[in-house]
Amino acid sequence: MTSVQSIASKLSQVSMVLTEMQQSGNCDQLAVVLNDLGQMDAELKTVQSQITPETSETLRQDLVNCRMALYGMQNIVSEIRSDTAQRYRQVLGDQKTSFEQMNDPDQQSAYPEAYQHRQVFKQMDAVSGHLHQLNGAIMDASYQAGREQNGGGTVYGDIEQNDLTSGTNTTGWS
Protein backbone atom coordinates (compact mmCIF):
# COMPACT_ATOMS: atom_id res chain seq x y z
CA MET A 1 0.00 0.00 0.00
CA THR A 2 1.43 3.39 -0.97
CA SER A 3 1.55 6.32 1.42
CA VAL A 4 -1.33 7.99 -0.41
CA GLN A 5 -3.41 4.82 -0.27
CA SER A 6 -2.73 4.74 3.46
CA ILE A 7 -3.91 8.34 3.72
CA ALA A 8 -7.00 7.44 1.68
CA SER A 9 -7.72 4.59 4.07
CA LYS A 10 -7.37 6.90 7.07
CA LEU A 11 -9.63 9.44 5.37
CA SER A 12 -12.21 6.72 4.93
CA GLN A 13 -12.00 5.85 8.63
CA VAL A 14 -12.33 9.49 9.66
CA SER A 15 -15.26 9.85 7.29
CA MET A 16 -16.98 6.90 8.95
CA VAL A 17 -16.43 8.45 12.39
CA LEU A 18 -17.85 11.77 11.17
CA THR A 19 -20.83 10.00 9.62
CA GLU A 20 -21.52 8.20 12.89
CA MET A 21 -21.20 11.49 14.78
CA GLN A 22 -23.65 13.07 12.38
CA GLN A 23 -26.16 10.25 12.81
CA SER A 24 -25.83 9.78 16.57
CA GLY A 25 -25.16 13.35 17.62
CA ASN A 26 -22.38 11.99 19.85
CA CYS A 27 -19.19 13.94 19.20
CA ASP A 28 -16.89 12.26 21.72
CA GLN A 29 -14.49 11.24 18.94
CA LEU A 30 -13.65 14.79 17.78
CA ALA A 31 -10.24 14.84 19.46
CA VAL A 32 -9.32 11.61 17.66
CA VAL A 33 -10.53 13.04 14.33
CA LEU A 34 -8.46 16.20 14.81
CA ASN A 35 -5.38 14.15 15.71
CA ASP A 36 -5.80 11.86 12.69
CA LEU A 37 -6.19 14.82 10.33
CA GLY A 38 -3.05 16.42 11.73
CA GLN A 39 -1.07 13.23 11.15
CA MET A 40 -2.31 13.00 7.57
CA ASP A 41 -1.00 16.48 6.85
CA ALA A 42 2.49 15.38 7.94
CA GLU A 43 2.18 12.22 5.83
CA LEU A 44 1.28 14.29 2.77
CA LYS A 45 4.45 16.30 3.16
CA THR A 46 6.39 13.03 3.11
CA VAL A 47 4.50 11.93 -0.02
CA GLN A 48 5.47 15.14 -1.79
CA SER A 49 9.14 14.49 -1.10
CA GLN A 50 8.89 11.01 -2.64
CA ILE A 51 7.24 11.88 -5.97
CA THR A 52 9.12 10.58 -8.98
CA PRO A 53 8.22 10.39 -12.69
CA GLU A 54 7.66 6.64 -12.28
CA THR A 55 5.09 7.03 -9.49
CA SER A 56 3.33 10.17 -10.59
CA GLU A 57 0.33 8.86 -12.63
CA THR A 58 -0.82 6.31 -10.05
CA LEU A 59 -0.13 8.81 -7.33
CA ARG A 60 -2.19 11.49 -9.05
CA GLN A 61 -5.19 9.14 -9.27
CA ASP A 62 -4.82 8.24 -5.59
CA LEU A 63 -4.68 11.93 -4.74
CA VAL A 64 -7.86 12.55 -6.76
CA ASN A 65 -9.56 9.84 -4.71
CA CYS A 66 -8.38 11.53 -1.51
CA ARG A 67 -9.76 14.89 -2.64
CA MET A 68 -13.11 13.27 -3.40
CA ALA A 69 -13.15 11.80 0.12
CA LEU A 70 -12.29 15.20 1.58
CA TYR A 71 -15.14 16.80 -0.35
CA GLY A 72 -17.60 14.30 1.12
CA MET A 73 -16.20 14.84 4.59
CA GLN A 74 -16.51 18.59 4.24
CA ASN A 75 -20.21 18.14 3.49
CA ILE A 76 -20.64 16.00 6.61
CA VAL A 77 -18.79 18.55 8.73
CA SER A 78 -20.97 21.32 7.34
CA GLU A 79 -24.12 19.38 8.24
CA ILE A 80 -22.85 18.63 11.76
CA ARG A 81 -22.01 22.31 12.26
CA SER A 82 -25.45 23.33 11.04
CA ASP A 83 -27.23 20.79 13.26
CA THR A 84 -25.11 21.79 16.25
CA ALA A 85 -25.83 25.48 15.72
CA GLN A 86 -29.55 24.75 15.48
CA ARG A 87 -29.52 22.73 18.73
CA TYR A 88 -27.49 25.49 20.41
CA ARG A 89 -30.10 28.08 19.46
CA GLN A 90 -32.96 25.79 20.52
CA VAL A 91 -31.45 25.14 23.94
CA LEU A 92 -30.84 28.81 24.64
CA GLY A 93 -33.91 30.35 23.04
CA ASP A 94 -34.12 33.99 24.07
CA GLN A 95 -31.22 33.50 26.53
CA LYS A 96 -28.66 33.34 23.72
CA THR A 97 -27.46 36.95 24.10
CA SER A 98 -26.99 36.71 27.88
CA PHE A 99 -25.28 33.32 27.50
CA GLU A 100 -22.78 34.72 25.01
CA GLN A 101 -21.90 37.56 27.39
CA MET A 102 -20.91 35.11 30.15
CA ASN A 103 -17.40 33.77 30.62
CA ASP A 104 -16.71 30.09 29.88
CA PRO A 105 -17.08 28.72 33.45
CA ASP A 106 -20.38 30.56 33.92
CA GLN A 107 -21.66 29.33 30.55
CA GLN A 108 -20.73 25.78 31.44
CA SER A 109 -22.47 25.85 34.81
CA ALA A 110 -25.58 27.83 33.77
CA TYR A 111 -26.24 26.13 30.42
CA PRO A 112 -24.15 22.94 30.16
CA GLU A 113 -25.98 21.61 27.10
CA ALA A 114 -25.60 24.88 25.17
CA TYR A 115 -21.97 25.07 26.26
CA GLN A 116 -21.37 21.57 24.90
CA HIS A 117 -22.98 22.46 21.57
CA ARG A 118 -20.83 25.57 21.35
CA GLN A 119 -17.66 23.53 22.00
CA VAL A 120 -18.62 20.98 19.34
CA PHE A 121 -19.26 23.79 16.87
CA LYS A 122 -15.79 25.24 17.55
CA GLN A 123 -14.18 21.82 17.16
CA MET A 124 -16.00 21.29 13.88
CA ASP A 125 -14.51 24.58 12.71
CA ALA A 126 -11.09 23.13 13.51
CA VAL A 127 -11.95 19.93 11.61
CA SER A 128 -13.07 22.01 8.65
CA GLY A 129 -9.81 23.96 8.76
CA HIS A 130 -7.80 20.72 8.75
CA LEU A 131 -9.82 19.43 5.79
CA HIS A 132 -9.12 22.61 3.83
CA GLN A 133 -5.44 22.37 4.72
CA LEU A 134 -5.31 18.75 3.60
CA ASN A 135 -7.09 19.63 0.38
CA GLY A 136 -4.46 22.28 -0.33
CA ALA A 137 -1.63 19.85 0.42
CA ILE A 138 -3.21 17.25 -1.86
CA MET A 139 -3.58 19.82 -4.62
CA ASP A 140 0.10 20.73 -4.21
CA ALA A 141 1.12 17.07 -4.37
CA SER A 142 -1.06 16.55 -7.47
CA TYR A 143 0.53 19.53 -9.14
CA GLN A 144 4.00 18.25 -8.28
CA ALA A 145 3.12 14.79 -9.61
CA GLY A 146 1.89 16.40 -12.84
CA ARG A 147 5.16 18.28 -13.20
CA GLU A 148 7.15 15.09 -12.59
CA GLN A 149 5.05 13.20 -15.13
CA ASN A 150 5.89 15.84 -17.70
CA GLY A 151 9.59 15.67 -16.92
CA GLY A 152 9.57 18.87 -14.93
CA GLY A 153 8.08 20.84 -17.82
CA THR A 154 4.95 22.89 -17.83
CA VAL A 155 1.72 21.58 -16.46
CA TYR A 156 -1.72 23.08 -15.92
CA GLY A 157 -0.96 26.21 -17.91
CA ASP A 158 2.35 27.04 -16.24
CA ILE A 159 3.98 30.12 -17.65
CA GLU A 160 7.55 29.74 -18.78
CA GLN A 161 9.99 32.45 -17.77
CA ASN A 162 10.43 33.42 -21.46
CA ASP A 163 6.70 34.06 -21.69
CA LEU A 164 7.05 36.77 -19.05
CA THR A 165 9.82 38.73 -20.73
CA SER A 166 9.15 41.40 -23.23
CA GLY A 167 10.07 40.45 -26.72
CA THR A 168 9.45 41.96 -30.08
CA ASN A 169 6.15 43.71 -30.17
CA THR A 170 4.19 42.01 -32.96
CA THR A 171 0.73 43.24 -31.96
CA GLY A 172 1.23 46.83 -32.97
CA TRP A 173 0.61 47.98 -29.40
CA SER A 174 3.20 50.31 -27.92
Per residue in 61-86, pLDDT tens? 888 889 999 999 999 999 999 999 99
Angle at 126 (CA atoms; ends 37, 77), nearest 5 degrees: 80
* pLDDT band (50, 70, 90) for residue 165: very low
Q: Does the residue 102 lie in any domain? A: yes
Cα maximum dimension of the chain? 75
Per-residue confidence (pLDDT) for residue 53, from 0 to 100: 72
* pLDDT band (50, 70, 90) for residue 156: very low
Which pTM does this prediction carry? 0.77
Q: What is the pLDDT of residues 119-137, one digit of tens each?
A: 999 999 999 999 999 999 8
Q: What residues make up the domain containing 9?
A: 3-22+32-47+57-147
Per-residue confidence (pLDDT) for residue 118, from 0 to 100: 94
What's the rounded Cα separation, in Å, for the pair 60 and 143?
8
Q: Does the residue 156 lie in any domain? A: no
Q: Does the residue 168 lie in any domain? A: no
Nearest Cα neighbor of 81 from 32, 134, 129, 133 is 129
Per-residue confidence (pLDDT) for residue 78, from 0 to 100: 94
* pLDDT band (50, 70, 90) for residue 151: low
Q: Does the residue 97 lie in any domain? A: yes
Q: What is the pLDDT of residues 4-34, one digit of tens each?
A: 888 888 999 999 999 998 888 888 888 889 9
Beta-carbon-side half-sphere exposure of residue 168 (alpha carbons within 13 Å): 1
Q: Does the residue 76 lie in any domain? A: yes
Q: Does the residue 161 lie in any domain? A: no
Q: Does the residue 116 lie in any domain? A: yes
DSSP-derived 3-state class of residue 2: coil
Question: How many structural domains comprise the chain?
Answer: 1
* pLDDT band (50, 70, 90) for residue 161: very low
Q: Does the residue 66 lie in any domain? A: yes
